[in-house]
């Protein structure tokens, strides 16, 4: 069996530059900011992703959570390209462009609990059967990344783990949309009668982006650049 490389340079490169600059800039502004200008965020990590040198580059345009079924599609892309078509793992770059309700998957359990995301979006925690107060799609059941099996057909291997964290281990980069976050902060205020200003909620959410997630100014624009400048193939599920 061909061994999957964990040395996926783009995933590693962006992991340390996630959301920090965005949160810092947002903290300096108290006014509503539905649109980021080029001076409000650092596009360099995204530009590196656009121009990644992988042989196969694929962007998933995801707006609906749909019980996280799109994560299984991503897993199948990686497995098919690597094991079925023989593409080296470090020559595959998959990007998850999450906006709309799916944008909430980019945030940690603090956001899900504090803003009642499960109740708002109708997401049920599979462990409790109640509206989710944690993000049920991010964390891998194998916390340390040491899987019992290296067999790609085994459900106990990395290759069948459909968590966001496992897909990141395989080099997938997830994108979060700043515009969607702004709009969702306002929707949460309306839904639950919150007293905070929208930008206060946005700053709080950006401080709780999942590790490895890259925040971009506007997702629909980012997808256009991934396709036009980066030559990413496009799929929506």
User: Each residue of 157-188: pLDDT tens digit?
Assistant: 999 999 999 999 999 999 999 999 999 999 99
Per-block average pLDDT, block size 10, for the chain (237 residues)?
44 46 45 80 96 98 97 98 98 98 98 98 96 98 97 98 98 98 98 97 97 97 98 96
Q: Is residue 144 part of a domain?
A: yes
Q: Is residue 154 part of a domain?
A: yes
What distance in Å separates the CA atoms of residue 91 and residue 84, rounded to the nearest whole number?
14
Give residue 174's domain range: 58-227
Q: Is residue 2 part of a domain?
A: no
Positive or negative, the CA dihedral 13, 15, 20, 25 is positive
Q: Is residue 40 part of a domain?
A: no
Q: Is residue 189 part of a domain?
A: yes
pLDDT score of 12:
45
For residues 72 and 172, the answer to whether their CB atoms sit within 8 Å is no
203-225 pLDDT, tens digit each:
999 999 999 999 999 999 999 99
pLDDT score of 32:
60
Q: Is residue 215 part of a domain?
A: yes
Q: The pTM is what?
A: 0.87
pLDDT score of 20:
44
Residue matched to tokens 């793992």: 89
Domain count, the chain: 1
Q: Is residue 156 part of a domain?
A: yes
pLDDT score of 15:
44
Q: Is residue 19 part of a domain?
A: no
């Amino acid at each position: 069996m061909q061994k999957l490389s964990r040395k996926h340079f783009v995933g590693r490169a962006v992991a340390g530059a996630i959301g920090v600059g965005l949160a810092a800039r947002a903290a300096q502004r108290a006014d509503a900011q539905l649109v980021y200008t080029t001076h409000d965020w650092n596009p360099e990590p995204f530009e590196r992703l656009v121009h990644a040198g992988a042989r196969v580059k694929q962007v998933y345009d995801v707006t609906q959570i749909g019980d996280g079924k799109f994560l299984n599609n991503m897993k199948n892309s990686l497995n098919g390209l690597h094991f079925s078509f023989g593409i080296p793992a470090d020559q595959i770059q998959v990007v998850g462009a999450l906006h709309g309700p799916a944008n909430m998957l980019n945030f940690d359990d603090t956001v899900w609990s504090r803003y009642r995301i499960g109740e708002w979006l109708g997401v049920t925690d599979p462990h409790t059967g109640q509206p989710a107060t944690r993000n049920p799609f991010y964390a891998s059941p194998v916390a340390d990344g040491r899987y019992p099996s290296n067999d790609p057909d085994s459900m106990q291997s990395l290759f069948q783990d459909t968590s966001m964290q496992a897909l990141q281990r395989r080099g997938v980069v997830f994108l979060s949309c700043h515009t969607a976050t702004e709009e969702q902060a306002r929707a949460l205020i309306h839904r639950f009668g919150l007293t905070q200003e929208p930008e206060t909620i946005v700053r709080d959410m950006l401080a709780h982006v999942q590790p490895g997630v890259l925040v971009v100014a506007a997702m629909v624009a980012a997808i256009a650049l991934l396709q036009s400048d980066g030559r990413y193939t496009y799929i929506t599920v």
